[in-house]
Structure 1
Amino acid sequence: MMLRPVQMTEYAGREGLADMQELVQRTWSPTSRLHLGDLAWERASNASRSAGSWRTAVWRDGGQVVAWGWLEQPGHLLMTIDPARPELADVVVRWFRETAEGEQLAAGVLETEQHLLDALVSAGFRRDDAAPYFTHHWISLDALDKPVVPDGLSVRPVRADEAAKRAAVHRAAWSDVQPSKMSEESMATVMSTWPYRSELDWVVENEAGEFVASALIWLDEQHQVGLVEPVGVATAYRRRGLGQVVNLAALHALREAGGTRAVVCPRGDDGYPQARALYQSIGFQPGSRTLHLLLG
């Protein structure tokens, strides 16, 4: 049987997210690198800072999206290919090599995405095992511990009018190495991006009304799987168990919303073991890891 020719559409900037999410959700399995929440968070939270340099290409067979490639950085490729059309991986990698800028081209896949890995290796990419990597961690929602909130603090979901405070706690938690650029505008973009749900965006609040920890979960209703992304605790409130508290509260809310399991993707190497230790203390179990590949 001859396959019909596919049609490519290229996007610049923020466009193309819905097409990308459509394919990710339709083809998702536990062996997939990306959850539709990954795309929602990465593209919404970075839209005001990075969208000007983004290049995205989407391939369609008729009206159905069957492949896409995204230069999330000028020389770094993320892609999703319908497993039923593995030959398109070669097409996307070729587009990447013709389009990308920079002296060193790189790509990231999950080790279980063999159809993507084969295309990259055939094009001359090699594994960089010295690079940081991430490990998918999984938890079933049928036997969650209850969060124990320390005295003087409370835990609750975010309200729609609290983008400024929600951005502030993100900055307080993610400014260790360099100042976070999360603004109220960027957080408002996140909160307006499908499939964001405020009832799955949880915070720990102190007596002064400040948010001091947060955990956001993105629910794929079709697969009943929630992605935990991101989680943070303000530096002044660390080592008090608030990472566990806010995660467990959000996971309970995910179960109430119809989720049956959750996935989170912390660093798997020993360069930053703290996040992995937190999730494993809650009950997440490690699964597949990501691979970083370089051209040449």
Structure 2
Amino acid sequence: MTISLRTPGVDGLAPLVVKLGEWQSDDGPVQLHPGDLGWFWRFGVDRAANAIRVWERDGELLAIGMLDEPDLLRVAYSPDALQDEELNHRLFDDCRDPERGVLIEGKVYVEAPMDALVQELFTKDGWIQDDPWQPLRHPLTEGLEQSALTIEVIGPETASERTALQRASFDGSTFTDERWHAMAAGTAYAAARCLVGRDEQGTVVAGVTVWSAGEGKPGLLEPMGVHRDYRGRGYGEAITRAAAAALRDLGASTAFVNTPSSNIGAVATYQAAGFEPLAEVRDQYRPA
């Protein structure tokens, strides 16, 4: 048996959302979540399909990769395949050779589970660890109450409030109403929610999107933002608590978020909302 690489196409996306959910575990490695694919879906279903690579052996799906950018591949593994030598060597070779249609030439990045064998292969080949990211997880057992904001679930008629908040929270954001509707039409969004928080004057000051991976699986916050004119008032903590509560209501076992370790403010906000830091994770990159 040999490992094959393919791009699944639009019709193949829905089964991959399910598989990514099945691979999530509170005891397993931090890795690509169905919500990551769901958030990418805002660019349209065709672009989402074109960004996916899957590795299989004899019809068995072993790894799923998503090109967040042409130079950044994020990979999830089947729990039994983290140390599979044939898979890891094939994935390593595919990432090294631009002719194989995974990563481009020059400086490129790969995000893979820290305990996957491919990490060792990249290191031996001279790849370098990038700056650390801080995963955090909430147990969803307590500490979900908040009183600073009035929380609303966004639907098609109110999408503009969510997209406007995103643009007011992140410099350079390109999140538009059209992209919200593209995201909401995706398979992953069937188990997701967009929330906004209003202050006492009724102004939308914070927002978040939460993604379920299925009953009893860890859910994801991606993304969370506070309007740049309303920071420093506890709204980030409040919307994060609301997000965790929404994931609990969706049946999640825990709530998970990932942010650059250098973003000290974000890390502090998540911890204030009851999230506990896990071991840091790092991409590896090949210098240009």
What displacement does 1:181 show? Answer: 0.9
Q: Give the 5 Å matches for 1:103-252.
A: 103-111=106-114, 113-122=115-124, 124-128=125-129, 131-149=130-148, 154-175=150-171, 179-196=172-189, 200-205=193-198, 210-252=203-245
Q: Is the 8 A contact 1:69 1:92 kept in 2?
A: no
Structure 1: distance between partners of 2:231 and 2:254 = 27
Matched, 1:9 2:6: yes
Q: Distance in 2 between matches of 1:6 and 1:108?
A: 20
Residue aligning to 1:34: 32
The secondary structure found in structure 1 opposite 2:37 is helix
Structure 1: gaps (5+ residues): none
Q: Which runs of 5+ in 2 are unaligned?
A: none
Give the length in aligned residue pairs: 278
Q: Compared with structure 1, are the counterparts of its residues 47 and 274 closer, same or farther at alpha carbon in structure 2 (3 Å cutoff)? A: farther
Residue pairs, 1:86-97, within 5 angstroms: 86=84, 87-97=86-96
Cα offset, 1:20, TM superposition: 3.9
Q: Report the structure, 1 or 2, having the larger helix content.
A: 2
| Paired residues for 1:58-97 under 5 Å | 58-85=54-81, 86=84, 87-97=86-96
Once the two structures are aligned, what percentage of the paired residues are identical? 23
Query: In 2 relative to 1, CA 224–53 (structure 1 residues): closer, same or farther, beyond 3 Å?
Result: closer
- Does residue 292 of structure 1 match 2:283? yes
Letter in 1 for 2:42: S
Q: Residue by residue, what CA displacement relative to the aligned partner does 1:153-194 show, whole Å, maximum 9, x if unpaired?
A: 63221123222221111111112xxx3111111111222223
The CA deviation at 1:135 is 1.3
The RMSD of aligned alpha carbons is 2.8
- Equivalent position amino acid for 1:231 in 2: M
Give 1:199 deviation, angstroms: 7.3
Which residue of the partner structure matches residue 267 of structure 1?
A: 260
- Secondary structure at the aligned position of 1:196 is classed as helix
Name the stretch that deviates more: 257-266 or 227-236: 257-266
Q: Could you tell me how far apart the structure 2 residues matched to 1:294 and 1:249 are?
A: 36
